[in-house]
Structure 1
Amino acid sequence: MLRYYGKDLLDWHRGELSSRRLHVLVKHLPRESSVNRELFGEAADWSVTDHLLAATVDHLAAANWMFASVNSEEDAEPLEAPEPVPRPNGTPDSGADGPDADAADADADPSAAAAPGPSPQQLVRFFG
């Protein structure tokens, strides 16, 4: 149950807790809270640092693979590309900085390529 300073969620039903205050409390729950685990699953355990470390490992592995591929014998068998570090959702990071990032975004949402600014849903998500 959501508890803060001796009060609980029933205070919202009793009228002792405003909807705005309830929204703020839920929005700023700690990463390890049950609500965040239910909403985001394993991704709730990953911090920004964890994502950056996984990206660093992926980039270093790719750089080492490219170096080894370029400096191997011409008649040698090609080296296998490295596997990316698994992310919480089970897929590797999409690599938004990659050369096909705009094409991937356009494939996902055809109206996104034509829209000059953020969508209404993005504005609502940003401003809460």
Structure 2
Amino acid sequence: MVMIKHLPTDSAVQREIHGETAEWSLTDHLLAATVDHLAVANWMFQCVNTGEDDETPDPPKPVPRPGVTDEDGEEQGEGSTPEGATEAVSPSALARFFG
């Protein structure tokens, strides 16, 4: 069991157990969170600096993450659009993922 537990994250066993989420490293999750935070910061800047008569821009869509479902209940994949996801990966979710 110790040998199986410590297999590399890209091994076939890990992919079978965790699915697509096994292919994302901590760096991938942190990079996606960084991109999401920058997009939100740019969106807030745009909202604050638009005129009173201008329409408020739509909020940015987060980077799709493996294992996260959108509002329609469909799982987001690598090639899918990030529509519907509204929350970033929480610290507890990262801790659960990396066991």
Matches within 5 A, 1:103-114: none
| Alpha-carbon contact 2:10-2:23 (below 8 Å) kept | yes
Segments of 5+ residues of structure 2 without an aligned counterpart are: 70-84
CA deviation after TM superposition for structure 1 residue 32, in Å: 1.2
Q: 2:62 aligns with which of 84, 96, 105?
A: 84
Larger Rg: 1
CA deviation after TM superposition for structure 1 residue 35, in Å: 0.9
Partner of 2:18: 40
Per mean C-alpha deviation after superposition, the further-off stretch among 82-91 and 50-59 is: 82-91
CA deviation after TM superposition for structure 1 residue 94, in Å: 4.4
Cα RMSD after superposing both structures: 2.0
For 1:70 and 1:56, how far apart are their aligned partners in 2?
Answer: 21
SS of equivalent residue, structure 1 residue 63: helix
Matched, 1:28 2:6: yes
**Which digits, 9 at most, give the CA deviation of each residue in 1:32-82, with x for residues without a partner?**
111100111111110000000000000000000000000001110110000
SS of equivalent residue, structure 2 residue 8: coil
For 1:69 and 1:28, how far apart are their aligned partners in 2?
Answer: 47
Q: 1:69 aligns with which of 38, 47, 50?
A: 47
Q: Structure 2 vs 1, CA of residues 95 and 32 (structure 1 numbering), >3 Å: closer, same or farther?
A: closer
Amino acid in structure 1 at the alignment position of 2:20: E
Which structure: greater helix fraction? 1
Partner of 1:19: none
Of structures 1 and 2, the one scoring higher in RCO (CA 8 A, sep 6+) is 2
Segments of 5+ residues of structure 1 without an aligned counterpart are: 1-22, 98-121
Matched length: 77
Instruction: Tell me the TM-score normalized by structure 1.
Output: 0.55
